[in-house]
Amino acid sequence: MKTLYCFLLLLLISLSSCGGENTESASPAPEAAKSPESQMLAEGKGIGEIKAVELKTPLETERVTRGKAIYEMKCLACHKLTEQKIVGPGWKDVTKRRKPEWIMNMVTNVDVMLDKDEEAQKLLQLCLTRMPNQNVSVGDARDVLEFMRSNDGEK
């Protein structure tokens, strides 16, 4: 009986080790194999559904008007149009410092941006208050971006 148990144990061990060699390496993935999220972060676009933004010149005046209304309703309490920091940072020259995709992802995907984007985390350290999720749609975020461009002197 003891021999049978030993035989079964050896059989079980040999069967469990028949999976072949593990060909995965612990080395970092090559640049081409980066995840879409890490690629966007590396490009300074933040994290979110906005992958590309087409900016038009001249500014789209209807978008600027709608963006201003959204700013006054959802953003004005925390953000000034100057460099002045209130609760959040001032908006002056933000479109010159950040890519449009980053701005729109920050507005539409704020929680993930504050958790994973290095630049958003620096702003959090500076302001000491998390930006609340205002449930801004992609279209509204695009309008706010156009208003920001107008505020930064683009024509």
DSSP string, 106-143: HHHSHHHHHHH-HHHHHHHHHH-SPPP-----HHHHHH
Answer yes or no: is pLDDT of 106 > 90: yes
114: CATH: 1.10.760.10
pLDDT tens, position by position, 14-53: 444 444 444 444 555 455 568 999 999 999 999 999 999 9
Residue 8 lies in a domain: no
Residue 9 lies in a domain: no
Residue 31 lies in a domain: no
Residue 86 lies in a domain: yes
Residue 5 lies in a domain: no
Residue 59 lies in a domain: yes
Q: Which residues are registered as beta bridge partners of 85?
A: 79
Residue 28 lies in a domain: no
d(CA 50, CA 105): 6
State how far the alpha carbon of 88 is from the alpha carbons of 54, 78, 130, 131, in Å. Answer: 27, 5, 9, 7
Residue 45 lies in a domain: yes
Number of structural domains in the chain = 1
Answer yes or no: is pLDDT of 6 > 50: no
Q: Domain of 139? A: 36-151
